[in-house]
Chains A and B, each alone.
Chain A
Amino acid sequence: MQAAFLIHRALRGLLVLWLVHLMTFMLIRLVPGDPAEVIAGEQATPEAVDQIRESLGLTEPLPVQYWNALRGVLTGDLGESLFSGLAVTRLLLDAVPPSLSIALGALAFAVMAGVLLGAIAGLTRGRIVDRCVSALAGLGIAMPSFWVGMMLVTIFSITLNWLPATSYAPLARGTGEWASHIVLPAIALGTTVAAEIARHTRGGVIDVMEKPFIRAARARGATGAQLVLRHVLRNTAIPVITVIGLSGGTLLGGTVVVETVFGISGLGNLAISSVLSRDYPVIQGYVLLTALIVVVINLTVDILYGVVNPKVRKR
């Protein structure tokens, strides 16, 4: 993979981050009227409004405000929560581990289940196995994650009592403990994405199986696992990776719902509570962090393209 290509993509990612920051910065300043009054709400005393105006630095001229905000971002200072007075950076960092655990767990589940089921369906095209998998995938896309989560809790926590129904256990309390709290929310969150990956993998496998190079590989004697692993999946990976990359944002957004169902205080909960309490600095920080994660995912996808597709990888 050409280094210049990656640097180019990274710079574009930075540009996106800067634009997102600019937009979140402008957001409260473009609100009609005095942003401090809007934030404080209708029943606020003039003193409270002044305090908000002061703490947000709204008394300074706009360019100075922007410069301060930008400098803050670069030094990791995103301001303080209007509600709790805690540093936004701190709040976000505390909320990241549970959400990231769930999102990555969901991604791992979605990729494994989706690729496996999709490949099986594609290879048994038109037969009963394929029909079952396709029906399952349709169901997976149709089922909302909160409902899947509730069903999983009912079955595995309440009826079978195998896994905890709520809360999050940090890694420090042991991998097993951590994993047992992650499994159900991850599956609930990953089901839709798994179904989507399965559909695309199925389509990709069917597509690749028709390609002349598969016939040529079979003419060389490749069969069964040799054919599937060496030729079919490698070529199917290219479109599927795109889908996986696109699902990154879906998974992050989905944590909002799943965290609520499982009573986990992660990024999703933080986002909801800060929106409800008009905690603008926290909302800004959340949006910026989400944008950062999406940019990183896209960059990873670009790197993976180079790994699986030699046409992208140039010497």
Chain B
Amino acid sequence: MTEPTAASSAEAGTAAEATAAREAASSPEATAAPEAPDTVLEVRDLTVDLRGAAVQPGLVREVSFRVRRGGATALIGESGCGKTMTAMSLLGLLPREVRVSGGSAVLEGTDLLGLSPRQLARARGRRIGAVFQEPMSTLDPTMTVGDQIGESRRIHLRESRSAARVRARELLELVGIPNAAARLRAYPHELSGGMQQRVGIAAAIACDPPLLIADEPTTALDVTIQAEILDLLRELRREQDLAVLLVTHDLGVVADFCDEVVVMYAGGVAETAGTDELFGTPRHPYTSALIASVPTGAEPFSRLTSLPGRVPAAGSFPAGCRFAARCPFATDDCTRTDVYHDLATEPTRCLRVVRGEITPEAAA
């Protein structure tokens, strides 16, 4: 999917592979051949639906991407575009009303979506770590920092409290918290926001999982602290070979930190690309609109560019391309075609870009 120049013959090949992966992944322990040997997570055609609804709104529809070992893939898009839901479905932590209704997510040979809730709970913390947006409310206020970091080791590795505490101390040092021995006994409210997020990261990687899901990990932090947290994550990628799936709406963070980007819009993938290609030659009108809306600071007193309209609400998604209503290039064809299905193997879900009719960067 990273070869945007692939001709139609290659396209057929990937499609066949995708089908094979889907079939193989239907048994829980199935091993699907990853596209590249260094792929940690391979998500294919992930679809999330409302439980028990007669007409499915398609909250998340046929989303595919991958995360490389030691790499970082970004899921970006406006609020409500399904990026957090995509990430939470990998953890099995979706709201009760929502369920995964299709697709596969192969983490080192295991399809997470085929696991029973109990098996998935065993993978959480052990094989996938997760950090969240608000570090203060993400840590249990009644539990010491050391106990929270050691919790996953006690659960998954059945370590004693003291053994977990020894490891927790090492982890605190690893995430750059000074005076680690004393901090173990501290409670979350005694730490600053940046420290709290470091603790959150330490707790998430306590069992050395190959993959870390980071859901807006820097959004609630000061800009300088943001940079520090990103530096820490970069260090963990390099030294622990940690792969990061970063959910964010901050293009600056994406450009700074990620090597692959999945642009989501209204529950579907608009475009998948390497970071450099995405910013250099966006292949979807939505991507170029997003990039154009970032204030550059180049021209003082100039108006900020904004994208008119809003993301359609789940349940009222239009047929065809969901971006068509806000797209300056939309034609009748766009609303007639099921771009999510028909263009499943393309790096962009824009019909007109695929046909070669437009080049979106001109719009930016």
Contact = CB atoms under 8 A, between A and B. Distances in A.
Nearest to A231: B140
Interface string B86-99: 00000101000000
A12 interface: no
Contact of A215 (B125, B128, B132, B187): B132
B132 A220 contact: no
A7 to B, nearest CB: 23
Given A218-B124, A221-B155, A234-B143, A211 B129 contact: no
B151 interface: yes
Contact of A235 (B130, B138, B141): B141
A310 B200 contact: no
A212 B141 contact: no
A216 B132 contact: yes
Interface string B309-320: 000000000000
A166 B301 CA distance: 87
A223 B156 CA distance: 11
Contacts of A220: 124-125, 129, 151-152, 155, 203-204, 206
B142 A235 contact: yes
B143 A231 contact: yes
A311 B189 contact: yes
B122 interface: yes
B137 interface: yes
B15 interface: no
Nearest to A309: B142
Contacts of B141: 213, 235, 309-311
Given A230-B143, A235-B140, A217 B129 contact: no
Contacts of B124: 218-221
A161 interface: no
B189 A221 contact: no
B142 A217 contact: no
A218 B134 CA distance: 16
B142 A310 contact: yes
B121 interface: yes
A167 to B, nearest CB: 44
A215 B125 CA distance: 12
A185 B118 CA distance: 45
Given A220-B203, A221-B125, A311-B189, A213 B140 contact: yes
A311 B132 contact: no
Contacts of A230: 140, 143, 151
Contacts of A218: 93, 121, 124
B153 to A, nearest CB: 9
A226 interface: yes
Nearest to A310: B187
Contacts of B156: 221
A222 interface: yes
A219 B128 CA distance: 8
B204 A219 contact: yes
Given A221-B122, A223-B121, A216 B143 contact: no
Nearest to A315: B190
Residue from A215, A216, A220, A310 with most neighbouring chain B CB atoms (10 Å): A220
B83 interface: no
A308 interface: yes
Contacts of B123: 221
B127 to A, nearest CB: 10
A110 to B, nearest CB: 23
Nearest to A308: B142
Contacts of B206: 220
Nearest to B130: A219
25 contacts: A212-B134, A213-B137, A215-B93, A216-B139, A216-B200, A218-B93, A219-B91, A219-B124, A219-B132, A220-B125, A220-B155, A220-B203, A221-B151, A221-B155, A222-B151, A222-B155, A230-B143, A231-B140, A231-B143, A235-B140, A235-B141, A309-B141, A310-B187, A310-B189, A311-B189
Q: Which 9 A-B pairs have CB atoms at the shortest separation, nearest pair first?
A: A221-B125, A219-B130, A220-B125, A310-B187, A220-B152, A212-B137, A234-B142, A216-B138, A213-B140
Interface of A: 211-213, 215-223, 226, 230-231, 234-235, 308-311
Given A212-B133, A215-B138, A219-B132, 14 more contacts: A212-B137, A213-B140, A213-B141, A218-B93, A218-B124, A219-B91, A219-B125, A220-B155, A221-B152, A221-B155, A222-B151, A230-B143, A230-B151, A234-B140
